[in-house]
Structures are given as structure tokens and as C-alpha cells.
Amino acid sequence: MSLDGLQRTMFARVTAGDRALAPGHPLDELERLALDTDDVGALWQLGVHPVLLNSYCRLIGLRRDQYRALLEAVAPPADRALEVPWRNS
């Protein structure tokens, strides 16, 4: 795995505003495939930082409802289990 290379590649593309910018870092097969196919769910599962993923989705033209659906397909929101004071007040 080369999460660092994957994220650097995505960051470079976002910064340049160029979704086709060639990867400047080594990627493994899964990472390259996820980028080549705009597989947002796979990028999430590979561990891409969510703030970076958000920017990348904007770069590749996905609307929020589109990428939410893609993410929910691979990572359904967890049940709320943690106690927080604002829900008890």
C-alpha cells in the first residue's frame, strides 16, 4: 500500500485543477484503478483523508448527493453509540 503516494497524487491534481495529472508517486494496482475509474468508494476504503476526498470529488465533478450515495454504499453511517451532552440536555 502507498497511501501517501495516493494522497499526494490526489492533492497534486486538486491543487493543479487537473483530474488527469499524471501520478508523480508510485501507486499500487488498487490505487491506480480507483483513480482511473473515479471509484470514490474505493478511495474512501483505501483511507484517503475525507477533506482531501471532498476536494477531489469536487474536482471530478461529483455532486454531493452523488458521492454521498457512493460512500454510503461502502461505508454506511454507524449507529450513534457515543454519549454526548447535547443529546441529553
Partner 1 sequence: MAQLVMAACSSHAPMMLAARDSAPEAQRVAFFEALARLRTEIHTLDVTAMVVVSNEHFTNFFLDNFPQLCVGIGESCFGPVEPWLGVPQRQWPGRPVLAESLLGSLVHGGVDAAFSSRLSLDHGIVSVAAELMGERDIPVVPIIQNCAVTPLSPLARAVEVGRVLRDAIEAAPTDDRVALIGAGGLSHWVGPPRVGDIDEDFDRWVLSHLASGDVDVITALSDAQVNEAGNGAHEIRSWLTVAGAAGAGGAELRGEVLAYEAIHSWITGMGVIRFDLADQGAIR
Pick from 1, 16, 24, 72: which binds partner 1 (CB under 8 A)? 72
User: Distances from the Cα of 29 to the Cαs of 2, 7, 33, 75, in angstroms?
Assistant: 10, 15, 6, 22
In the complex with partner 1, the residue whose CB is nearer, 36 or 87, is 87
Collapsing DSSP states into helix, strand and coil, what is residue 67?
A: helix
* CB environment 37-52: b (16+ within 10 A), e (fewer): ebbbbbbbebebeeeb
Pick from 2, 8, 22, 36: which binds partner 1 (CB under 8 A)? 8
What is the closest distance, in whole angstroms, from the C-beta atom of residue 36 to partner 1 in the complex? 21
Question: Which residues here bind partner 1, judged by CB under 8 A?
Answer: 4, 7-8, 11, 14, 44, 49-55, 57, 64-65, 67-68, 71-72, 75-77, 80, 82-87, 89
